[in-house]
Structures are given as C-alpha cells and as structure tokens.
Amino acid sequence: EPEVTQTPSHQVTQMGQEVILRCVPISNHLYFYWYRQILGQKVEFLVSFYNNEISEKSEIFDDQFSVERPDGSNFTLKIRSTKLEDSAMYFCASSDSSPPRDEQFFGPGTRLTVL
C-alpha cells in the first residue's frame, strides 16, 4: 500500500541554521500539508499546498518557513533560521482530492532538535 515517506527521521541542528525537511507524498495525490507537534502539545497545522502554491497557512507559518515542490515527487519544508522553539516533530501529509472531506495520509514524521 502506498505510503507517505519523510527524511530524515531525526535532524539535529544548531540555532540559526537552515534546515530542509523532505517528504515524498503518495504519487497521485494533489494536496500536501505540513503539521508539527511540539513535545507534549497538540499536533498543529502549518500549511497546505495545492497546484504549486500555498492554499492555506497558519499564524505559525511565518517568513522563516517556506514550502516547495521542486519536482514531481518531493515536497519540502524549509526553516531559514531555526530557533530553539522550532524543536518538534514535523509531519507531512497528502490527499488525493478536495479536503476536508477526504482522508489526509500522514508520514512517520521528522524529529527536529534545535540546539
């Protein structure tokens, strides 16, 4: 069964450094998402992406964040200058038809640790 994959599973970085988190959505999906979960807190929506542009974003998704679909398979989240409070689990998700009715398929997550 097709799955969303994410790399790396764990990323450690120094404060102020740029990080790129990578996701490979399910191949025929058209809608892509990033969520994050700070330890002990709720899973929070960051951004949704459709037709090569951001369709919705949260207040968390400020100028330090960007998303890109550089080719037909990858979907990336870039954090330009990481802060300590960016330490979290980052989940990518995808769906094949118009949300919110339809299921979002989640990846296993990337644990980001900012030192």
Partner 1 sequence: AQTVTQSQPEMSVQEAETVTLSCTYDTSESDYYLFWYKQPPSRQMILVIRQEAYKQQNATENRFSVNFQKAAKSFSLKISDSQLGDAAMYFCACTQGGSEKLVFGKGTKLTVNP
Find the binder of partner 1 among 3, 18, 70, 115 (CB under 8 A).
3
Site for partner 1 in 45-64 (CB under 8 A): 45, 48, 55-56, 58
Q: How far is the CB of 67 from partner 1 (least distance, A)?
A: 13
Count of other CB atoms within 10 angstroms of residue 6 = 21
Long-range CB pairs of 54-60, under 8 A, 24+ apart, other chains included = 55/31, 60/36
The Cα–Cα gap between 88 and 1 comes to 28
Q: Is 85 helix (H, G, I), strand (E, B) or coil?
A: helix
Q: Does 27 bind partner 1 (CB under 8 A)?
A: no
Q: How far is the CB of 17 from partner 1 (least distance, A)?
A: 26
Site of interaction with partner 1 (CB under 8 A): 3-4, 31, 33, 35, 41-45, 48, 55-56, 58, 91, 99-101, 103-109
